[in-house]
């Protein structure tokens, strides 16, 4: 990743560098497409021990978004900026 440098003239405090970090699992979208079979396996393995309402909420999210759920790697953020 490259650091993008932004410099404003007249004030040294306004000089900063940043880079954009992108999730490699979802390519920065924050959502991944998943089939019904994979959703069942996700619920059986990742959501073991959760309340029935939470499992139903995962299914409703999948159905509402037409087969997409929140990315488990970035928790739906997709992209973020890192400053220095």
Number of structural domains, the chain? Answer: 1
pLDDT band for position 1 (50/70/90)?
very low
Sign of the C-alpha dihedral, residues 46, 41, 43, 39? positive
| pTM to 2 decimal places | 0.56
Q: Is the pLDDT higher at 48 or at 80?
A: 80
What single DSSP character describes residue 2?
P
Domain assignment of residue 51, given as a range:
4-83
User: How do residues 28-49 score in pLDDT, each as one tens digit?
Assistant: 888 888 888 888 887 777 767 7
Q: State the chain's mean pLDDT as an integer.
A: 78
- Provide CB contacts within 8 A for 5, sequence distance 6+: 15, 16, 17
Q: Do residues 57 and 64 lie in contact, with contact meaning Cβ atoms separated by under 8 Å?
A: no
Of the chain, the percentage scoring pLDDT greater than 70 comes to: 77
């Amino acid at each position: 990743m490259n650091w993008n440098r932004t410099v404003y003239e007249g004030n040294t405090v306004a000089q900063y560098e940043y880079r954009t970090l992108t999730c490699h699992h979802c390519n920065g979208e924050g959502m991944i497409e998943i089939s019904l079979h994979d959703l069942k396996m996700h619920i059986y393995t990742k959501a073991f021990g959760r309340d029935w309402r939470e499992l139903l909420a995962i299914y409703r999210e999948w159905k509402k978004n037409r087969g997409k759920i929140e990315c488990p790697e970035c928790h739906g953020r997709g992209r973020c900026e890192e400053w220095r």
